[in-house]
Amino acid sequence: MSVLANPQLWFATLAMATPLALPAIGGTFSERSGVVNIAMEGIMLIGAFFAVAFSYWTNSAWLGLLFGMLMGGVISAIFAWAAIRLAADQVVLGMAVNIFAAGLTAFLLDTVFGFNGTPANTPSLPTVHLPWLKSMPFLSGVFNDQSVLVYIMIVIVIVSHWFLFYTRLGLRIRSVGENPLAADTAGLSVSRLRYTGVIIGGLLSALGGAYLSIGILHSFDVNMTNGRGYIALAAMIFGKWTPFGAFGASLLFGFATALGIALQSFNVSSNLLGMLPYVLTILALAGLVGRSTPPAADGIPYEQHR
Amino acid sequence: MSKKIIVSFMSLSVFVATLAVSGCGPAGNNTAPAPTTGAGTTGTGLKVGLVTDIGGLNDNGFNHLAYVGLTKAEQKLGAAGKVVQSKQATDYVPNLTYFASHGYNLVIAVGFLMHDAVEQVAQQYPNIKFMIIDDVITNRSNVVSAVFQSEQAGYLAGAMAGLIQKGHSLPNLNSQNIVGVVGGQPSPPVDSYIAGFQQGFKREDPTGKVLVTYTDSFTDTALGAQYAQNEMSQGADIIFPVAGGCGLGVISAVQAANKYAIGVDTNQSYLAPKNVIVSATKGVDTSVYDVVQSVKNNTFKSGVDTFGLKQNGVGITAPMQGVPQSIVSQVNQLKQDIIDGKIHISTTVQK
Here the CATH number for the domain that contains residue A262 is 1.10.3470
Residue A299 lies in a domain: no
pLDDT tier at A121, thresholds 50, 70, 90:
confident
- Smallest Cα–Cα separation from B184: which of B145, B223, B238? B223
Q: Is position B5 within any domain?
A: no
Give the closest residue to B128 by CA, choosing from B103, B165, B91.
B103
Is residue B64 in some structural domain? Answer: yes
- Tell me, yes or no, whether B197 and B331 share the same domain: yes
Are B219 and B297 members of one domain?
A: no
Q: How far, CA to CA in Å, does B158 sit from each of A81, A282, B221?
A: 56, 41, 23
Rounded Cα distance between B223 and B182, Å, is: 11
Same domain, B332 and B187: yes
Residue A61 lies in a domain: yes
Its pTM stands at 0.86
Q: How far apart are CA B252 and CA B221, in angstroms?
A: 9
pLDDT band at A306 (very low <50, low <70, confident <90, very high): low
Task: Quote the DSSP letter at residue A109.
Answer: I
State the smallest CA–CA distance between residue B75 and chain A in angstroms: 18
At position A194, the amino acid (one-letter code) is: R
Q: Which of B219, B220, B255 to mutate to test the interface with A (most CBs of A within 10 A)?
A: B220
Residue A267 makes CB contacts below 8 A (sequence gap 6+) with B351
B218 touches chain A (CB under 8 A): no
The answer to whether residue A97 sits within a structural domain is: yes
- Which pLDDT does position B21 carry in this prediction? 44
Query: What does the pLDDT look like over B305-320, one tens digit per residue?
Result: 999 999 889 999 999 9
Q: Which of B11, B185, B222 sits opposite A217 (nearest CB)?
A: B222
Identify the residue among B216, B252, B270 best suited for mutation to test binding to A, counting A beta carbons within 10 A and taking the highest. Answer: B216
Residues of A in contact with B70 (CB under 8 A): none
Mean pLDDT, chain B, whole residue set: 87
Domain that holds residue B274: 150-282+321-339
Same domain flag for B74 and B111: yes
CA distance A253 to A13: 8
Cα separation, A193 vs A169, in Å, equals 8
Domain that holds residue A186: 2-126+142-288
* Residue B351 within any structural domain of the chain: no
Find the angle CA(B215)-CA(B217)-CA(B220) to the nearest 5 degrees.
95
User: What mean pLDDT do residues A222-226 have?
Assistant: 89
Q: A12 and B6: CB-CB below 8 Å?
A: no
Please identify among residues 20-79 of chain A the ones whose CB lies closer than 8 Å to any CB of chain B.
none
What confidence tens digit (pLDDT) does each residue in B34-69 have? 333 333 444 468 999 999 988 788 777 889 999 999
Which contacts of B247-250 are long-range, i.e. CB under 8 A and separated by 24 or more positions? B247/B61, B247/B182, B247/B184, B248/A117, B248/A217, B248/A219, B248/A221, B248/B60, B248/B221, B248/B224, B249/A216, B249/A217, B249/B220, B249/B221, B249/B222, B249/B223, B249/B224, B249/B225, B250/B182, B250/B224, B250/B225
Cα dihedral A91, A96, A101, A103 sign: positive
pLDDT of residue A120: 84
In this predicted structure, what is the pLDDT of residue B148? 93
Q: CB-based contact (8 Å) between A82 and chain B?
A: yes
User: How far apart are the C-alpha atoms of A235 and A268, rounded to whole Å?
Assistant: 26
User: Please, which residues have CB within 8 angstroms of residue B147's CB and are 6 or more apart in sequence?
Assistant: B134, B135, B136, B304, B305, B306, B307
Read off the pLDDT band of B23 (50, 70, 90). Answer: very low
Kindly state whether residue B298 falls inside one of the protein's structural domains: yes
CA–CA dist B241, B276 (Å, integer): 11
Give the pLDDT band (50/70/90) at residue A305.
low
Q: Is residue B182 pLDDT above 90, yes or no?
A: yes
Pick from B166-170, B215-219, B252-256: least confident: B215-219
With CA atoms as reference, report the closest residue to A161 among A218, A241, A250: A241
Burial (CB < 10 A; 0-12, 13-18, 19+), residue B243, is buried
Q: Over 90: is that where the pLDDT of B153 sits? A: yes
- A224 and B221 within 8 Å at the Cβ level: the answer is yes
Q: Is residue B288 part of a domain?
A: yes
pLDDT bin (cut points 50, 70, 90) of residue B8 is low
Q: Testing the interface with A: which of B21, B91, B265 to mutate, by most A Cβ within 10 A?
A: B21
Does B198 lie in the same domain as B325? Answer: yes
Range of weakest confidence among A88-102, A288-302, B191-205, B274-288: A288-302
**Ordered DSSP codes for B267-302:** --GGGSTTTEEEEEEE-HHHHHHHHHHHHHTT----
Grade residue B22 by pLDDT with cuts at 50, 70 and 90.
very low
Quick check: B245 contacting A, CB < 8 Å? Answer: yes
C-alpha R_g of chain B: 22
pLDDT at position B345: 94
Domain presence at residue A301 = no
In chain B, residues with a C-beta closer than 8 Å to the C-beta of A264 are 213-214
Sheet holding B238-242, edge to edge: B209-214, B178-183, B238-242, B260-265, B276-282, B314-316
Q: Is residue A213 part of a domain?
A: yes
By C-alpha distance, the chain A residue nearest B16 is A100
Q: Where are the alpha helices (DSSP H) in chain B?
A: 2-22, 62-77, 92-101, 115-124, 150-167, 188-204, 221-233, 245-256, 284-296, 325-339
Q: Is B103 exposed, middle or buried, given 0-12, 13-18 or 19+ CB atoms closer than 10 A?
A: middle
> pLDDT band at B31, cuts 50/70/90?
very low
Q: What is the mean pLDDT of chain A?
A: 91
Same domain, B170 and B236: yes
* pLDDT computed for residue B59 by the predictor: 78
Query: Of A228, A222, A277, whose CA–CA distance to A40 is shortest?
Result: A228
Which distant-in-sequence residues (6+ apart) come within 8 Å of B142 by Cβ? Answer: B122, B125, B126, B127, B128, B129, B130, B302
B23 inside 8 A of chain A by CB: no
Q: Is A153 on the interface with B (CB under 8 A)?
A: no
Tell me whether residue B348 is in a domain. no
pLDDT digits (tens, 9 = 90+) for A67-99: 999 999 999 999 999 999 999 999 999 999 999
- Give me the pLDDT at residue A286, please: 74
Indicate yes or no: CB of A212 within 8 angstroms of CB of B18. no
Question: What is the domain count for chain B?
Answer: 2
Please tell me which residue of chain B has the smallest CA distance to A88. Answer: B7
Asked if residue B246 and residue B137 are part of one domain, the reply reads no
pLDDT tier for residue B3 given thresholds of 50, 70 and 90 = low
pLDDT > 70 in chain A, percent: 97
Same domain, B161 and B278: yes
Interchain contact, A86 vs B58, CB within 8 Å? no
What's the pLDDT band for B81 if we cut at 50, 70, 90?
Answer: very high
Distance CA B247, CA B240 (A): 9
Residue B230 and residue B122 share a domain: no
Distances (CA, A) of A92 to A88, A143, B3, B170: 8, 40, 17, 55
For residue B235, give the chain A residue with the closest CA: A8
pLDDT higher than 60, residue A277: yes
Nearest to B11 among A96, A106, A107 (CB): A96
Nearest CA in chain B to A125: B256
Instruction: Specify the amino acid at residue A163.
Output: F
Q: How far apart are CA B152 and CA B200, in angstroms?
A: 9
pLDDT given for residue B13 in this prediction: 54
- Measuring CA to CA, how many Å separate B81 from each of A194, B67, B78, B250, B319? 50, 9, 9, 33, 33
Residue B220 lies in a domain: yes
Q: Do A219 and B351 make contact, defined as CB atoms within 8 angstroms? A: no
B267 touches chain A (CB under 8 A): no
Q: Identify the pLDDT of residue B50.
A: 96
CB of A156 closer than 8 Å to CB of A211: no
Average pLDDT of span B294-304: 92
Q: Indicate if B194 and B52 belong to the same structural domain.
A: no
The per-residue pLDDT for B24 is: 39
DSSP reduced 3-state for B183: strand
Look up the CATH number of the domain holding residue B234. 3.40.50.2300
**Residue B124 near residue B148 (C-beta atoms within 8 A):** no
Q: How far is CA B4 from CA A262, A298, A299, B7, in A?
A: 53, 21, 18, 5
Instruction: Write out pLDDT tens, residues A136-170.
Output: 888 888 998 899 999 999 999 999 999 999 999 99
For range B297-303, the mean pLDDT: 92
Best of A100, A115, A230 to substitute, by most chain B Cβ atoms within 10 angstroms, is A115
Asked whether residue B9 is assigned to any structural domain, the reply reads no
H or E element that contains B129: strand B129-133
List chain B residues with CB under 8 Å of A12. Answer: 226, 229-230
List of chain B residues whose C-beta atoms are within 8 Å of the C-beta of residue A120: 270-272
**Chain B residues touching residue A143 (CB < 8 angstroms):** none
The reply to whether B269 and B334 lie within a common domain is yes
The count of structural domains within chain A is 1
Assigned domain for A177 exists: yes
Is the minimum CB–CB distance between B57 and chain A shorter than 8 Å? yes
Question: Is A265 in contact with B67 (Cβ distance < 8 A)?
Answer: no
Q: What is the pLDDT of residues A37-75, one digit of tens each?
A: 999 999 999 999 999 999 999 999 999 999 999 999 999
Q: Is B21 within 8 Å of A12 when comparing Cβ atoms?
A: no
Q: Tell me: pLDDT of B28 over 70.
A: no
The b/e string for A273-298 (b: 16+ C-beta within 10 A; e otherwise) is bbebbeebbeebeeeebeeeebbebb
In this structure, are B276 and B290 located in the same domain? no
H/E element holding B47?
A: strand B47-51
> What's the rounded Cα separation, in Å, for the pair A19 and A227?
11
